[in-house]
Amino acid sequence: MFSAVDVIRAKRDGLELPDDQIDWVIDAYTRGVVADEQMSALAMAICCRGMNSREIARWTNAMIDSGERLSLGSVGRPTVDKHSTGGVGDKITLPLAPLVAACGAAVPQLSGRGLGHTGGTLDKLESIPGWRASLAEPEILAQLSAVGAVICATTPTLAPADRKLYALRDVTGTVESIPLIASSIMSKKIAEGAGALVLDVKFGSGAFMKTYPAARELATALVEIGTQHSVPVSALLTDMSVPLGRAVGNALEVAESIEVLRGGGPADIVELTVALAQEMLTLAGITDVDPAQVLSSGAAHEKWTEMIEAQGGNPAAPLPAAARVRVIESPSDGYLSTLDAYAVGVAAWRLGAGRARKEDPVDHAAGVQCLAKPGDRVVTGQPLLELHYTHESLLAGALSALDGGWAVTAGAGTRGPLVRDVIRNTGVAVVVSTTTATNSTLGQAPSAR
């Protein structure tokens, strides 16, 4: 018989937790035998002491086993999923899921809602009149078989231990723990039952992981979990120092996604969508289709229409539009050299596009349009940003968030590539495309490194 106090002490003292101890504590916490204050202490011990790859894999497996797994064997085509660690203007799931479906794979995209400065996929799609996020498991399977793509809320029976622990981490200062982040992501994704998984792990001011080394450590941990659960996984490390695309906000991002699906849209959105699609198709064993050509052909837009209609949405209905728009103009001739993703994300949040608490409503029309991006030549008086909002009282807070978040200078400045690196598993090892990852103890808080 185990004791929660013994498990807490062991990790507090830097010891490895054996498999049976991990299995017990996750099961006992899910059943309410281990109290929230005890799991809070253990989470803090893990945050400070870390876990090795074996512990992380076992912790993940215990959270998967706390609930049910989706069985996708009846879908009739290879299944592959994608997960992003979140960012500003990150609407990639919207064009990506129908694109990969149009190429022949099935995409079971169980998504979440936004919190703080990062947007949520479900919030974006709920801008579309009639669209519904909650589907029962038979509906998910039927839509995957008929359409090839579904974006919906996770079912309550998948990894319930993670749902409890996720809420606890948010109020105990343990969100930054790489073992807890990695096991949270992978327990839900593996429970979904997809045959392969592609991860978009972001770094930069608008990302959860602010530095490239921290993002690489997280990506490596995620791919290692995939290896230990025999799931093919690739992780793209992508830059989130600048907002993705030009639209930040729910209805604004849906409109931009539709533009991409029709063969247009911002170059960075198209680049990342195609890169992720190519990786997903490779893992699904589909190597004779060029996703760039499928995207430009309009086939992905047709699949988008099917996907939205299957969930009750009207893809032809007008999207919500804000009652007020405030324009920020360039103060001088020069180049837009800085546009900070975090500043833009907070501004959109304060305008009503996001929420501070999970129960808060969102204003689907609110957000920020980036009319210029870093490197663009601008002239005095040229519109740089549009702030879309409903309530005048929200404007001052958004303007304050943007203060210092953009700059026009004489030089254009430089920026690194959008996709910095790719980490893949081969079934027996983790392979990093340009750097060497270690397989030592993982997961102390990034700030401690």
How confident is the prediction along the chain (449 residues), in pLDDT tens digits per residue? 799 999 999 999 999 999 999 999 999 999 999 999 999 999 999 999 999 999 999 999 999 999 999 999 899 999 999 999 999 999 999 999 999 999 999 999 998 877 667 778 999 999 999 999 999 999 999 999 999 999 999 888 999 999 899 888 878 888 889 999 999 999 999 999 999 999 999 999 999 899 999 999 999 999 999 999 999 999 999 999 999 999 999 999 999 999 999 999 999 999 999 999 999 999 999 999 999 999 999 999 999 999 999 999 999 999 999 999 999 999 999 999 999 999 999 999 999 998 877 777 899 999 999 999 999 999 999 999 999 999 999 999 999 999 999 999 999 888 889 999 999 986 545 666 654 333 333 333 333 22
β-partners of residue 324 are: 389
User: What is the Cα gyration radius of the chain?
Assistant: 22
- How many CB atoms neighbour CB 102 within 10 A? 25
pLDDT of residue 435: 41
pLDDT at residue 442, rounded to an integer: 39
167: Cβ contacts below 8 Å, ≥ 6 apart: none
Q: Where do the domains of the chain lie, and which CATH numbers do they carry? A: 4-50 (1.20.970.10), 80-316+418-440 (3.40.1030.10), 324-409 (3.90.1170.30)
pLDDT at residue 356, rounded to an integer: 74
* pLDDT score recorded for residue 114: 72
Known catalytic residue at 188: yes
pLDDT in tens, 119-144: 789 999 999 999 999 999 999 999 99
Q: Which of 82, 91, 163, 188 is catalytic?
A: 188
Q: Are 24 and 66 in contact (CB under 8 A)?
A: no
Strand partners, 81: 197
Out of 124, 169, 364, 420, the active site residue is 169
Rounded to whole angstroms, what are the CA distances from 56 to 143, 220, 274? 33, 12, 31
Question: Per the residue annotation, which of 83, 124, 216, 246 is the catalytic one?
Answer: 83
DSSP 8-state class, residue 349: I
Backbone dihedral region of 328: left (phi > 0), alpha (psi from -120 to 50 degrees) or beta? beta
Which residue is catalytic, options 53, 183, 184, 241?
184
- Read off the tokens for 229: 């659960």
Distance CA(149)–CA(141), nearest Å, equals: 10
Active site residue 169: yes
Instruction: Identify whether 216 is a catalytic site residue.
Output: no
What's the half-sphere exposure (Cβ side, CA atoms, 13 Å) at 320? 25
- Collect all residues with Cβ–Cβ distance below 8 Å to 371 and sequence separation of at least 6: 246, 382, 383, 384, 385, 386
Q: Kindly name the residue from 162, 200, 363, 421 that is annotated as catalytic.
A: 162
pTM of the predicted protein model: 0.92
Distances in Å between the alpha carbon of 129 and those of 251, 322, 364?
11, 16, 11
